[in-house]
Structure 1
């Protein structure tokens, strides 16, 4: 059988030298190519940041100009993107001038570092945020006494409504905002994946929502902050990609921060909605949430038979100078789920009231000091029978059907 001759030893050395040379040339060329690629990528990122900065700044400027002097709000949570927006607004002079009003919601569950950081950015950018809290509460102790420290464990949606949605809605109404900036982006994922720069939103009577950073990615936020020496929330250095309530915000491995939806992967951990789905929004940006928080109960302009009373009406009733009728008064808050649950029943009662009884409502969360002093209550709903000489008694039963309340009123009339 023919067998090929083995190559001469010198020939083998030549082949090895040739292979080594090709390998060296390849590595040298590959190295050069990698350096070139890295250079191109860096130039592309610089160009991208310049474009994104111009786009965001232009969006902010045009939105302010379009508002024509009407109030503009920026509800700021001090997450990384929000701080970048503060930086851009500051450069445009809109913070020191007050053209953009910064709103801040203290949920009573924030990291202590967040409140410290708020003071830092206020000083740095020359503005003072308007701080809003759960209705009737100035401190965490107030909140715990009124709603319970564990409300978030018992009913997270009710907790969000009280701590975030209602104060947020009240903040927008307070400043009369026609335009609202926010830092939502498409790369947040889930409900935010298809956001546009500008949205029309049925909140606070109708307003424009503007997302200047909608096309930015989380990596862009940090690249820009590094390039421009923008100081971000200190807890980013402790492993938190996003900052929310301390009770349900956790650290995330840094290598996962810049994945799709990575920024918010450490938020709402362990929380589920009532339908069993994983929680991904606090409620502020959920369709209908603000409308629900703003909707009043027993709206007279929509045909309600329940009379709208203010404090002077109640004072007259308590002094026995209102009229010859007795009064059935509900002290309520429109965002309270228990008040909402009794809306239909109380409306039915008002449609066919007991004889010589006026059925009325008083929005208690707007006059908490008054109802606490005069009616001895901090909770909603509270139902009172006030007779025609000003004596009153509170309805203590949890059964709030028209029949049960009517029977109770009849008992008071007999007395």
Structure 2
């Protein structure tokens, strides 16, 4: 029997994950618990691929997002690592700037992301030769040139984006086909989910990441975890037209 398109994509994905695990035994998936990351989590755990999985509990996630941590244990019988920010650093930042300073400027928003996301990620990645993400090119302008594999100079290790070329329909076909658990907020108009104060539902026709840091312009919407995307995006903008890839 000829496999369906979804099954072909799934077979290609699991083969890719096995290859990464073989080449980088200490590699780990950094899961935001979004739909894409749940697809990767299902692939890793259901296929018994030896890759670690961790998530960052920023202290400001939706209850629905946190609930997926227990759902994963119940479904797959395996807990994922949970990394949290340094409590005293967060408390000092809130004392100095207030609990909602991220609305005031990009600099303060990024400072909050640095404390709650980037610093815990740096600790989670220590000793690893590579990490994986659920990023896709289709998600935003800063990810339009996202490669399947790259060297992340920001963190000093290899980085893999196995779903880079997947479309939103591919993700949801996989979720339905394999009955993969997902965040119920996705059914309430949240295609991209981050911290609760920094995420809203999107309106019909809006960009999938329009609900993330909606008070900022689209070309600044990275939190520091994927700072390399901003650099790549800026390089593309400033590259001479003759040097860019042009498709008809």
Q: Is 2:41 the partner of 1:100?
A: no
Deviation, structure 1 residue 127: 2.4
- What residue is the counterpart of 1:161 in the other structure? 114
Structure having the higher Rg: 1
Selected match of 1:207 from 157, 160, 183: 157
Mark the runs of 5 or more structure 1 residues left unpaired by the alignment: 1-45, 290-415
Bigger Cα displacement from structure 2, 53-62 vs 146-155: 146-155
Q: Is 2:192 the partner of 1:269?
A: no
Total equivalences in the alignment: 226
Structural RMSD (CA): 2.6
Q: Structure with the greater relative contact order (CA < 8 A, sep ≥ 6): 1 or 2? A: 2
Selected match of 1:192 from 125, 136, 143: 143
Distance in 2 of aligned mates of 1:79 and 1:220: 14
Query: The residue matched to 2:120 in structure 1 has which SS?
Result: helix
| Cα deviation 1:206-248 (Å, max 9, x = unaligned) | 3211111111101111111112211211111222112111112
Q: 1:164-183 residue pairs with structure 2 within 5 A?
A: 164-173=117-126, 176-183=127-134
Distance in 2 of aligned mates of 1:104 and 1:231: 16
- What residue is the counterpart of 2:28 in the other structure? 73
Deviation, structure 1 residue 250: 1.2
Distance in 1 of aligned mates of 2:109 and 2:116: 10
TM-score by length of structure 1 reads 0.50
- What residue is the counterpart of 1:221 in the other structure? 171
Distance in 1 of aligned mates of 2:71 and 2:219: 34
Q: Is 2:36 the partner of 1:85?
A: no
Q: 1:147 to 1:72 in 2, by over 3 A?
A: farther
Mark the runs of 5 or more structure 2 residues left unpaired by the alignment: 231-248
